[in-house]
């Protein structure tokens, strides 16, 4: 037993060290993003409960949404069982949470049922990915590695559930063989156990231990694989919903520097505190210009394609794919981040998010309808990044499309987007004979 505890403690320590190193590297990148404050915490808590915990937005697709929600809720319940396994492994005991009594019975029964449900759900997901040509799973941005990543993660989860059920099945059989009291209730595993052939006590205990170790070591491995996978949203989705936008989707955040300029134009005598700081850069051209919320959005994207599937620009054949925008932000930070850690935020590798990853044609295809943000099940706000990239093009590079440049010129000269003198603005009313009745 002591050897088992030592081995388990070493495995846990190695897991935590690797996971801590990976997370430290990923979250260090946040230091290079722009800081934005969070307001209205009570409202954010409510949104998190509705969107992240209750999974309300996932039910836009009722059948598959329900399966995804059941997987999420099942993981929340099974997580408690995983914590118990860690305690058992370190303390060298068996089913240490049994002291919870009826609560433990309910939790174990729920976990056992959810393990079976998740197994079925994952098989459905794998079948859809391998044999059904679901349109939103494809796109120019979806490389073979993305598909392999999804299949790998689903396979991990499937094996986790099979080993969990296997552990419970042989635990039920073992307690029956030795006449010991069973800790917890396992409805699915008890039914499977009733179908098993007669096995020796040693064989049953071997397979219980095999499934126990396979399951917990796979949990440790999966935890360290996830940060390198698109399924990192397992960790990031709930925090992302908490920090997500709570203002109306159509609302465009004002730029503080522009607001100050407008105030000075309207009131030149306004008191503006002098500053020796260099003028702020307008918009976004590379990852160090995005806000930390934008970067968290990118880390939370699971590449499900729901955003791209409802994008009117993409549907009509334009290059824009909201999913690609988030994937590009994440990929660019992964590429440039190590260099910024070594040399600071001024590091340059001769590339940028704009042009090298995202083209102008993609950006100007966006209608800012916010359908993608409305559809995203974890409240990612793709238009926020698109708008900031456009702001850089317009304010820093004067690179707006010809039609917009014409409108800008007219606004500057005539106070309106149309090429008419302000004095002629009401000429259209002359034909309405408004004065006939005076």
Q: Check residue 272 and give its pLDDT.
A: 60
Instruction: Mention every residue, 6+ apart, whose C-beta is less than 8 A from residue 400.
Output: 393, 394, 408
CATH number of 256-267+279-400: 1.10.1060.10
CATH number of 2-243: 1.20.950
Does residue 371 have a pLDDT over 90? yes
Instruction: For residues 222-240, give the mean pLDDT.
Output: 89
Instruction: State the DSSP code for 252.
Output: P
Contact 298, 330 (CB under 8 A): yes
Instruction: For residues 50-73, give the mean pLDDT.
Output: 92
251: pLDDT confidence band, cut at 50, 70 and 90? Answer: confident
Which is nearest to 307 in space by CA: 381, 244, 388?
A: 381
Q: At what angle do helices 144-178 and 201-225 cross, to 10 degrees?
A: 150
Does residue 433 have a pLDDT over 80? no
Backbone angles phi, psi at 302, to 5 degrees: -100, 10
Contact 250, 45 (CB under 8 A): no
pLDDT digits (tens, 9 = 90+) for 21-47: 999 988 899 999 999 999 999 999 999
Does residue 437 have a pLDDT over 60? no
Does residue 53 have a pLDDT over 90? yes
Start-to-end CA span in the chain (Å):
103
276: pLDDT confidence band, cut at 50, 70 and 90? Answer: low
Q: Check residue 126 and give its pLDDT.
A: 93
Which is nearest to 376 in space by CA: 249, 232, 225?
A: 249
Backbone angles phi, psi at 197, to 5 degrees: -75, 170
- Alpha carbon distances (Å) from 83 to 95, 106, 314: 11, 16, 44
Average model confidence (pLDDT) for the chain? Answer: 89
Instruction: For residues 316-339, give the mean pLDDT.
Output: 94
The CA-based angle 16-21-23, given to 5 degrees, is: 90
Instruction: For residues 206-210, give the mean pLDDT.
Output: 92
Instruction: Mention every residue, 6+ apart, whose C-beta is less than 8 A from residue 281.
Output: 289, 392, 396
Q: Of the given ranges (218-232, 271-285, 315-329), which has the lowest mean pLDDT? A: 271-285
Q: Check residue 438 and give its pLDDT.
A: 52
Q: At what angle do helices 62-91 and 102-131 cross, to 10 degrees?
A: 130
Domain coordinates of the chain in residue numbers?
2-243, 256-267+279-400
Query: Positive or negative CA dihedral for 347, 348, 354, 359?
Result: negative
Does residue 174 have a pLDDT over 60? yes
434: pLDDT confidence band, cut at 50, 70 and 90? Answer: low
Instruction: Report the share of the chain in percent with pLDDT over 90.
Output: 59
Q: Of the given ranges (64-78, 116-130, 256-270, 390-404), which has the lowest mean pLDDT? A: 256-270
* Residue with token string 């600071």: 344
pTM: predicted TM-score of the whole model, two decimal places: 0.86
Does residue 431 have a pLDDT over 80? no
Q: What is d(CA 413, CA 89) in angstroms, rounded to the nearest whole number?
A: 75
The CA-based angle 21-25-31, given to 5 degrees, is: 140
- Specify the higher pLDDT residue, 425 or 243: 243
Q: Check residue 430 and give its pLDDT.
A: 76
Instruction: For residues 325-345, give the mean pLDDT.
Output: 93
Q: What is d(CA 67, CA 154) in angstroms, rounded to the nearest whole number?
A: 13
Q: What are the b/e assignments for 74-98, b being 16+ CB within 10 Å?
A: bbebbebbbebbeebbeeeeebbbb
Q: Check residue 436 and give its pLDDT.
A: 59
What is the helix, strand, coil percentage profile of the chain, to 5? 70, 0, 30
Q: Check residue 278 and give its pLDDT.
A: 61
Instruction: For residues 150-154, give the mean pLDDT.
Output: 90
Does residue 184 have a pLDDT over 80? yes
């Amino acid at each position: 037993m002591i050897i088992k505890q030592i081995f388990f403690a070493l495995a846990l320590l190695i897991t935590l060290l690797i996971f801590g190193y990976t997370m430290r590297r990923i979250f260090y990148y946040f230091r290079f993003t722009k800081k934005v404050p969070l307001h209205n915490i009570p409202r954010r808590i409510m949104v998190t409960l509705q969107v992240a915990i209750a999974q309300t937005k996932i039910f836009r697709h009722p059948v598959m949404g329900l399966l995804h929600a059941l997987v999420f809720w099942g993981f929340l319940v099974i997580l408690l069982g995983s914590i118990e396994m860690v305690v058992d492994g370190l303390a060298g005991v068996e089913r240490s949470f049994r002291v919870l009594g009826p609560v433990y019975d309910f939790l174990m029964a729920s976990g056992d049922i959810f393990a079976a449900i998740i197994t079925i759900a994952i098989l459905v997901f794998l079948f859809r990915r391998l044999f059904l040509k679901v349109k939103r799973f494809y796109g120019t941005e979806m490389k073979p590695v993305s598909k392999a990543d999804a299949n790998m993660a689903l396979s991990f989860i499937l094996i986790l559930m099979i080993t969990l059920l296997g552990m419970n099945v042989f635990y039920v059989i073992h307690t029956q063989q030795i006449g010991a009291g069973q800790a917890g209730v396992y409805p699915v595993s008890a039914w499977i156990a009733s179908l098993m052939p007669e096995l020796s006590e040693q064989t049953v205990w071997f397979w219980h231990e095999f499934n126990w170790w396979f399951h917990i070591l796979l949990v440790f491995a999966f935890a360290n694989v996830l940060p390198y996978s698109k399924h990192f949203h397992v960790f990031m989705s709930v925090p992302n919903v908490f920090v997500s936008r709570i203002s109306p989707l159509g609302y465009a955040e004002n730029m503080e520097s522009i607001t100050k300029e407008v105030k000075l134009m309207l009131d030149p005598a306004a008191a503006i505190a002098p500053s020796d700081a260099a003028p702020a850069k307008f918009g976004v051209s590379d990852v160090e210009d995005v806000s930390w919320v934008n970067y968290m959005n990118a880390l939370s994207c699971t590449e499900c394609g729901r955003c791209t599937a409802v994008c009117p620009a993409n549907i009509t054949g334009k290059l824009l794919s909201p999913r690609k925008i988030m994937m590009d932000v994440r990929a660019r930070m992964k590429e440039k981040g190590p260099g910024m850690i070594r040399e600071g935020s001024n590091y340059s590798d001769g590339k940028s998010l704009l042009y090298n990853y995202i083209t102008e044609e993609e950006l100007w295809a966006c209608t800012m309808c916010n359908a993608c943000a409305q559809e995203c099940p974890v409240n990612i706000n793709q238009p926020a990044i698109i708008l900031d990239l456009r702001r850089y093009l317009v304010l820093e590079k004067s690179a707006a499309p010809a039609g917009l440049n014409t409108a800008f010129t007219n606004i500057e000269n005539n106070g309106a987007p149309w090429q008419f003198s302000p004095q002629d603005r009401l000429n259209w009313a002359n034909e309405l004979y408004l004065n006939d009745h005076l």
